[in-house]
Amino acid sequence: MKEFKKEYRSSIESVIKLLDSSGFAVVLSHLDYGKRNAFILNADGRERFNFSIPTEIRDAICFHEIYYLNGVLIAIVATRSVDYACVIDPNSGNLTKFYETR
């Protein structure tokens, strides 16, 4: 088994291995990456997708966290007033089903 190492100049806010073991979902510092601070990386460290916050989410600051809930990959988007959850398809890079969360 090959081992890969990926380093960033800023802190990693959230990281999780994809259920199919093909890569990782990562949230990096919004200070360095702004609103495009969430990624899906392949297992070898190459970038598969860089997510954009859906335009329907107003006053967005950045992605805050990525995790699995009942086998579904979820991204949390921080805004100035409330947070939103988005369902992520790790194969297509699409973000769907936005809903307010607390």
- The residues near 4 (Cβ < 8 Å, ≥ 6 apart) are 43, 44, 45
Phi, psi at 17, each rounded to 5°: -75, 135
The pLDDT score that the predictor gives to residue 2 is 61
The bridge status of strand 83-88 relative to strand 72-79 is: antiparallel
The pLDDT score that the predictor gives to residue 8 is 64
pLDDT, one tens digit for every residue, the chain (102 residues)? 566 666 667 778 899 999 999 999 999 999 888 899 999 999 988 999 999 898 888 899 999 999 999 999 999 999 999 999 999 998 898 998 888 887
Q: Looking at this protein, which amino acid is placed at residue 12?
A: I
The pLDDT score that the predictor gives to residue 32 is 86
The pLDDT score that the predictor gives to residue 5 is 62
pTM of the full structure: 0.86
